[in-house]
Amino acid sequence: MTVTAPPAAGVRAPWEDLPTAVREAVGEMLGSPVVRSQTQHGGFSPGVAARVRTAAGGTGFVKAVNGEANPHSPGLHRREARIAAALPAVVPAPRLLGTYDDGTWVALVFEEVAGRQPHVPWRPDELRRVLDAVTVLGRTGTPCPIDVPPVAEDLADTFNGWRRLLDGEAGGAGEVRDRLGVWTAGHLRDLAALEAGWAEGASGDTLAHADLRADNVLLTTDGDVAFVDWPHAVRAAPWFDLLVMLPCVRAQGGPDPEEVFTAHPLGLAADPDAVTAALAGLAGYFLRSSLNPAPPGLPTLRRFQRAQGDAALEWLRKRL
């Protein structure tokens, strides 16, 4: 399959644009002033995202933002800081070294992970490596080792896209038909009814990253996998991360999600009806969100959501 998703592209700012107080605080956390930086591209967070090296030879990864880049990003950084600080060592994620928050600027400093994002389009060997790591994440995250919200609570106002479209949020049936297609417009009521049952089946006691994509994965030089960017973590069913990840994999040139899911250890153990309902909620979220204007600092987000939504809906129609 060809790639249908555009690049995940938050508008990046260079390290040098950070206020002096923020840069000095980062140096204190790393034990020496930063003398070199390299901006990292890819991912849906605006602001600074840079690998840095200090005068003493230390390294780190810094992400920093203020509300001017995007009004919601500082809150997400604060949430990620709380989650990352609590992650146990068995979770394959970079360790948080420190946080700076002056009420305007929020900066997170992580250990640097030697590695790179997977290639897009996905390569079979790299996808197998990541899918194995998702298995490990599901097993080491059960029971959930940290305090994160239940998925049914956290996504209650997110996995209701079909209901919101049915209620006329997008401007009526004609606009839904024009923008999302005849089949979708004709099945809105059925999709909303299916989506309504997602929460019970998707609930569980497994730590879920809940936003796994190629740009949130690092293939490390020592053969491991690290999952980065944790602000959306929830407590959910063991298969929830796999479900959320596969439409994006498909939109980035990967294989049929149904084949991957049903062959995966976490998918094999899942209740089929629960998976279908959650998939309906996911597809509705992506497609409804894709109709909104692009938020500040994230120019490709809506097209990225549309590509994921189309892949999720195709998968859902196959399951139905």
pLDDT of residue 271: 98
Same domain, yes or no: 85 and 147: no
Q: Domain ends where: 113, 147, 170?
A: 113
pLDDT of residue 77: 96
pTM for the structure as a whole? 0.94
Q: Is residue 83 part of a domain?
A: yes
- The residue segments making up the domain with residue 75 are 15-113
Same domain, yes or no: 220 and 251: yes
- Amino acid present at 276: T
Tens of pLDDT along the chain (320 residues) come to 688 888 887 789 999 999 999 999 999 999 999 999 999 987 888 899 999 999 999 999 999 999 988 899 999 999 999 999 999 999 999 999 999 999 999 999 999 999 999 999 999 999 999 999 999 999 999 999 999 999 999 999 999 999 999 888 665 566 778 889 999 989 999 999 999 999 999 999 999 999 999 999 999 999 999 999 999 999 999 999 999 999 999 999 999 999 999 999 999 999 999 999 999 999 999 999 999 999 888 899 999 999 999 999 999 999 99
pLDDT of residue 171: 59
Same domain, yes or no: 33 and 109: yes
Q: Domain ends where: 57, 91, 113?
A: 113
pLDDT of residue 178: 83
Same domain, yes or no: 193 and 250: yes
Q: State the residue for tokens 């290639």.
A: 119
Same domain, yes or no: 100 and 222: no
Same domain, yes or no: 161 and 301: yes
Measure the CA–CA gap between 304 and 166, rounded to whole angstroms. Answer: 23
Q: Is residue 6 part of a domain?
A: no
Counted domains in the chain: 2
Q: What is the CATH number of the domain that holds 147?
A: 3.90.1200.10
Q: Domain ends where: 66, 90, 113?
A: 113
Q: Is residue 106 part of a domain?
A: yes
Same domain, yes or no: 124 and 59: no
Same domain, yes or no: 95 and 146: no
Q: Is residue 1 part of a domain?
A: no
Q: Is residue 146 part of a domain?
A: yes
Same domain, yes or no: 220 and 145: yes
Same domain, yes or no: 90 and 123: no
Q: Is residue 9 part of a domain?
A: no
pLDDT of residue 172: 59
Shortest CA distance to 126 belongs to which of 43, 220, 204, 45?
A: 220
Same domain, yes or no: 102 and 125: no
Q: Is residue 91 part of a domain?
A: yes
Show the tokens assigned to 216. 């949130």
pLDDT of residue 70: 85
Q: What is the CATH number of the domain that holds 83?
A: 3.30.200.20
Same domain, yes or no: 75 and 36: yes
Show the tokens assigned to 85. 């600080």
